[in-house]
């Protein structure tokens, strides 16, 4: 089974450098252009898929729709487990507002990132359970016979999925630049009793000939 992970294009929240989480904002004009650029790159390279799933949040759904319309493969089914990590009281805030209201968040060590329970959002453990539900669904539906599945989601959730797909044990800390409309292909297979993935390629938008926009932008998902 191949899994093609795609992060949404630049959203209105990305452009304003706001923490989004479950805040449901639409793609910016730059984000729409990014999604079209990704779709054209996929089409030029004959990269298709047998099935597609998307986060229910507008920025991901709109990205998935633009990709499907241009690349010509199957349209995406909404899967709630692909939604971005809930960030609680941090959602909608810029870095400056967080520094004023929740300075402890910006002072955290890297080992504590990915857990928003202190602010009324999801805990790290809750996110890991959600990511494993996604993998279990993919295995049940697309492992035998093997197919390729497109997942359109978010920087935070896609990153947690990628760790589970390619690492055993799954590390708490790992660094990977996953900017707007980056595309990541993971090939899953049995490896001595473990169903694990191989990172085949990870392509940023810049290599597809498009404007990168907000890029990784740290905490701004």
* pLDDT score at 144: 86
* pLDDT score at 154: 97
Return d(Cα 213, Cα 198) in angstroms, integer: 28
Decide if 215 is inside a domain: no
**Residue in the block written with tokens 């090939």:** 187
Decide if 173 is inside a domain: yes
Decide if 30 is inside a domain: yes
Which residues are registered as beta bridge partners of 189? 196
Decide if 46 is inside a domain: yes
- Which DSSP string do the residues of 160-190 spell out, in sequence order? HHHHHHH-SSPPS-------TT-EEEEEEEE
Decide if 216 is inside a domain: no
Decide if 52 is inside a domain: yes
Structure tokens at 175: 């660094």
Decide if 219 is inside a domain: no
Decide if 85 is inside a domain: yes
Cα dihedral 142/147/152/158 (nearest 10): 70
Cis peptide before 169 (omega within 30 of 0): yes
Q: What is the domain count for the chain?
A: 1
Which residue numbers in the chain have pLDDT < 70? 213-221
Residue 138, domain extent: 2-208
* pLDDT score at 126: 97
Q: Which CATH number do you get for residue 163?
A: 3.40.50.1240
* pLDDT score at 214: 58
């Amino acid at each position: 089974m191949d899994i093609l992970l795609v992060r949404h294009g630049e959203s209105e929240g990305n452009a304003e450098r706001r923490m989004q989480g479950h805040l449901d904002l639409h793609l910016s004009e730059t984000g729409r252009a990014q999604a079209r650029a990704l779709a054209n790159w996929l089409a030029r390279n004959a990269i298709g898929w047998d099935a597609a799933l998307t986060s229910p949040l507008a920025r991901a759904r709109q990205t998935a729709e633009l990709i499907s319309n241009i690349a010509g493969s199957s349209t995406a089914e909404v899967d709630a487990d692909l939604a971005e990590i809930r960030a609680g009281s941090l959602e909608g805030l810029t870095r400056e507002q967080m520094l004023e209201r929740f300075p402890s968040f910006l002072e955290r060590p890297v080992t504590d990132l990915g857990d928003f329970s202190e602010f009324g959002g999801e805990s790290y453990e809750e996110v890991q359970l959600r990511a494993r539900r996604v993998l279990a669904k993919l295995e049940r539906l697309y492992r035998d016979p093997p197919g390729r599945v497109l997942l359109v989601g978010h920087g935070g959730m896609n990153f947690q999925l990628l760790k589970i797909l390619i690492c055993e044990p799954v590390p708490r800390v790992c660094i990977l630049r996953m900017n707007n409309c980056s595309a990541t292909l993971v090939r899953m297979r049995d490896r001595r009793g473990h169903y694990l993935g191989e990172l085949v390629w990870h392509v940023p938008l810049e290599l597809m000939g498009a404007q990168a926009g907000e890029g990784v932008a740290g905490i701004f998902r």
